[in-house]
Amino acid sequence: MHFDDFAREQLPALVRFAAVLTGDPDLAQDLVQEALVRAHERWARVVRTERPDLYLRKMVVNGHLSWRRRWYQRAVRSVADPTWFREPHTADPAARIAEGDHLRELLSGLSRSQQAAIVLRFYEDRDDNDIAAVLGCAVGTVRSHISRGLSVLRVRLGAEMEVA
């Protein structure tokens, strides 16, 4: 398979994956671009892997995990407004954006590995083995990340429901 064909085929799904993972569409595009540049440089090795698509997702996840380590990339996120949950909501295109913001806020309370594991499981519908391959860890560690992440999310959602 030629790199250009592979990149064209994978790009839309990769950007969507990275956007859900990071909560920032611009950062998602940057991470995917960096991953594709690195994959192009190593294409002979990448194409020989059993699942080049998972290898590329691993590159995106690794870029996301190291993103916080870069001092120049720091950003401040606003605190959620709890009154939002008290107000009735109608079908509105802006609601999708607000839901995305809420998802980003919920995921921001998790470790980067937990975020990646949960996004891979519930957004990309990946199994434990695929997630372990992307995160570079054991299957048991994947299950632990997901279990602990879901526990944190349950607590946070429970606290939000009490406020409402």
Domain boundaries, the chain: 1-75, 90-164
Global pTM reads 0.58
Instruction: Determine the Cα–Cα distance for residues 104 and 122; give it in Å rounded to an integer.
Output: 14
User: What is the per-residue pLDDT across 71-91, written as a single tens digit (0 to 9) for each?
Assistant: 444 444 554 565 554 565 555
pLDDT of residue 140: 95
Q: How far is CA 110 from CA 27, 116, 126, in A?
A: 18, 10, 19
CATH level 2 (architecture), domain 90-164: Orthogonal Bundle (1.10)
CATH level 2 (architecture), domain 1-75: Orthogonal Bundle (1.10)
Report the share of the chain in percent with pLDDT over 70.
76
